[in-house]
Structure 1
């Protein structure tokens, strides 16, 4: 299937632990609940206690999308060491092959309405032999969605990420802020407005901090997306407005 015919997104973060798995799973849950067939892929996950099974990130994505794909399609590389993917793979005498990842993504994309791919770390995280997550994004051919923190410093981190994407000619659909507290401080209040005016793409949602188990957090974020005042912007950026209208 040609890249132009595929609907989907590659989700990256401005750093490790910014909430990109929750956002990816929340988006998958939101779309699945509206009748879309959502494909998910976590190409590389390190820190997996038992690499014979899915790691926590890939497992959450599989649950959120209700996916019946095999573990090897959902997560082609599962590595045990809690290190950057290239270092974790080196410890196991393995090399991360982008072609293998592309084959897994293409196999799933042909059977779904929308594909969600979640990266490892940030856009500049190393994967193999000098190749970065950004290089994988370019090879897969899906546009980028950037997940960012809300705390002080997020403007710098987010602009560096969008600048790097623009420099590497990676189309970027927008930014989602994750973890906005109920009572934001002055920096957190300013972040959405500053990024909207300074970044080369729009802020498509500002999601709250959520509590509970990982699945409960995903469900909460899916419900927040459904009632978000910026939902039309998000769906338009994802090229999903017409597709969603086909479903209840």
Structure 2
């Protein structure tokens, strides 16, 4: 990683699959850090399935709300595509050019104007962007540690270990993994999942979020943000993400 002292710390949030709740987790982290008094930058570099590409999509809008950032739309959500497909396919259908270098530079602009920056990917690490480049390549180019969000349900051990193994093989710095949507009354298999993963993953368990059943995404984010500070792994999360102390930002 480069040692550019002009760039604030940050994290790149990815998922083991679509639908694991990485947007909610990223937004909860943003809200928590904002409450600590930090200037939090957020970025959804590639959002597909956007109803009106002239505006931010739902994910980017939620991140903006949680972080209270005033950054321009084209920094928070530089690529907005209609088709609910992988970015490379959506861009091809809509005859849109995805400028990989511009995405990287935009992340650096945000890191020069905030205390901490949260970038949320699209799907998982192997999602194609353009020209043979993957989300994993974007993580490497942005030089941000990776936080992997996974689910507790059947199949997650395989999906999570594959994601973490891929990150390790591609030399991506990894802050750890976080289990989202744990039922309030899990059976033994679900309850044991975080510990099983921690034993096998060679990566730190950053937390386990309980299921947030509310219909409204903003209320879900508030609930997860409240959970965050009381996580038994909070000190590990803070250390691995290296967000600045209040007053030192």
CA distance in structure 1 between the aligned counterparts of 2:83 and 2:7, rounded to whole angstroms = 37
Moved over 4 A (4+): none
Q: Secondary structure at the match of 1:201?
A: coil
Match of 2:140 in 1: 138
Q: Does 1:41 align with 2:43?
A: yes
Aligned length: 245
1:3–1:142 contact (8 Å) kept in structure 2: no
CA displacement at 1:121 relative to structure 2: 0.4
**Equivalent-residue separation in structure 2 for 1:209 and 1:129 (angstroms):** 38
Deviation for aligned residue 1:181:
0.5
1:10-30: CA deviation from partner (whole Å, max 9, x where unpaired): 000000010100000000000
Change (3 A) 1:239 1:78: same
User: 2-side partners of 1:124 and 1:45: how far apart?
Assistant: 16
Number of the residue aligned with 2:61: 59
In 2, Cα distance between the equivalents of 1:133 and 1:72? 19
Secondary structure, counterpart of 1:69 in structure 2: coil
> Matched residue of 1:95: which SS?
coil
**CA offset at residue 188 of structure 1?**
1.0
Q: Judging changes above 3 Å, is the alpha-carbon distance between structure 1 residues 133 and 3 closer, same or farther for their aligned structure 2 residues?
A: farther
Q: CA deviation at 1:5?
A: 4.5
Q: Which residue of the other structure, out of 154, 157, 168, is the alignment partner of 1:155? A: 157
Residue 226 (structure 2) aligned to one of 223, 227, 238: 223
Q: 2: CA distance between counterparts of 1:56 and 1:3? A: 33
Say whether residues 1:214 and 2:217 are aligned partners.
yes
Per-residue deviation at 1:104? 1.4
Shift of 1:244: 2.9
With normalisation by structure 1, the TM-score equals 0.96
Gaps of 5+ in 1: none
- Provide the rounded CA distance (Å) in 1 between the counterparts of 2:139 and 2:16: 15
- RMSD across aligned positions (CA): 1.4
Q: CA deviation at 1:4?
A: 8.6
Q: How many Å separate the matches in 1 of 2:116 and 2:144?
A: 11
- Superposed, 1:166-181 pairs within 5 Å as 166-181=168-183
What is aligned with 1:126? 128
Aligned to 1:234: 237
